[in-house]
Amino acid sequence: MSDPVFASALPRRVVVTGAAGKLGRAVVAHLRDVGVDVLAVDRAGGRDPRDVDGEFLLVDLTDYGQVVEAFSGGADEHTGRVDAVVHLAAVPAPGLLPNATTFANNSAATYNTFAAARAAAIKRVVWASSETVLGLPFDTPPPYAPVDEEYPPRPESTYSLNKALEEEMARHFCRWDPELVMVGLRFSNVMDVEDYAQFPSFDADPQLRRWNLWGYIDARDGAQAVERALAHDLPGADVFIIANADTVMSRSSARLMAEVYPGVEVRKELGEHETLLSIDKARRVLGYAPQHSWRNHVDPRAADARRPVSGR
Ligand SMILES: NC(=O)c1ccc[n+]([C@@H]2O[C@H](COP(=O)([O-])OP(=O)(O)OC[C@H]3O[C@@H](n4cnc5c(N)ncnc54)[C@H](O)[C@@H]3O)[C@@H](O)[C@H]2O)c1
């Protein structure tokens, strides 16, 4: 079992939605590893729910009754009092399904999650927002770099519009309940270790991944951010960009900005490969400290063009 940094502050029993997904699997494994009692829920998205280890309940979050039962400890065999919810379930990117279908699923799933948590008097909710609210794919250049949480959401797709609305919804849920803690994590593009083999192929063309300022998040570091967010106990709604400390590129971050976004103000002295998706606030407030880098898994010079990584 790993040592959780804020073990004493971690909730005892947590529901994780989207538990069968890419990020969800890493989050469930990590939380269980640090001693959290996790009820994993998902509609499984075509995957066999038996693939998800440990306690699992098949729930379609667009059905409010199912969510209420899962969160209130009413489902047979899953009766423990729930202390917190980690909400990751969603159609995870623009363009996977028709816009209205994405919006209908993601908005209903999130409203039902927030509302059922409130009905069950659960005071901590951590959920997946997205880097897209920063203005991806940056056809309109970012206002400055590194981008941070200091400017209003700029959704450019229906998927992102929904994430921006979720952030607004969280603010109102917290206004209604002054004890509620809601943490939105604006994840960058989620990567598993297997995805890193293709990273060297990004180098040839700096335009290829300018859409998210060459950022990424290792699923294991994403899981660490969720753990830190669960330990956050300041009432109210807040949002944090969650990315790795470096970019996906071998070129320096300063050179990338000069080549691709020459008119954009760079507001700090950048480290060689420093992320252009600022994680300063997450470091400062949550104690988030990414542990992984693609550079530790593949040789940056070994170009290997494989399938693109989808999801935002
Ligand atoms: N993958 C990325 O690059 C990325 C980037 C930023 C934010 N995010 C966000 O992170 C979260 C997790 O993304 P992921 O990459 O693990 O996606 P994923 O598709 O691998 O997992 C999402 C899971 O949600 C489940 N789900 C969807 N709708 C549901 C519903 N109505 N009821 C129950 N379960 C439902 C799916 O079955 C799936 O298992 C999402 O909210 C996504 O928007 C992802």
- By three-state DSSP, how is residue 282 classified? helix
pTM across the whole model: 0.94
The protein residue with its alpha carbon nearest to ligand 1, atom 4, reads 312
pLDDT tens across 147-194, in order? 999 999 999 999 999 999 999 999 999 999 999 999 999 999 999 999
Give me the sign of the Cα torsion angle 35, 37, 42, 48: positive
Q: Does the domain made of 7-196+216-246+275-296 have the CATH classification 3.40.50.12280?
A: no
- Candidate of 16, 23, 213 to mutate for ligand 1, largest count of ligand atoms within 8 Å of Cβ: 23
pLDDT digits (tens, 9 = 90+) for 221-271: 999 999 999 999 999 999 999 999 999 999 999 999 999 999 999 999 999
Is residue 309 in contact with ligand 1, taking CB distance under 6 Å? no
Exposure pattern of 128-164 as b/e (b: 16+ CB <10 Å)? bbbbbbbbbebeeebeebbbbbeeebbbbbbbbbbbb
Q: Answer yes or no: is the C-beta of 86 below 6 A from any ligand 1 atom.
A: no
Residue 60 beta carbon below 6 angstroms from any ligand 1 atom:
yes
Residue nearest to atom 18 of ligand 1 (CA): 21
For the chain, the domains span: 7-196+216-246+275-296
- Residue 219: partners with Cβ closer than 8 Å, 6 or more residues away: 22, 23, 25, 26, 190, 191, 192
Atom of ligand 1 nearest to the CA of 108: 31
- Whether 93 shows a pLDDT value over 50: the answer reads yes
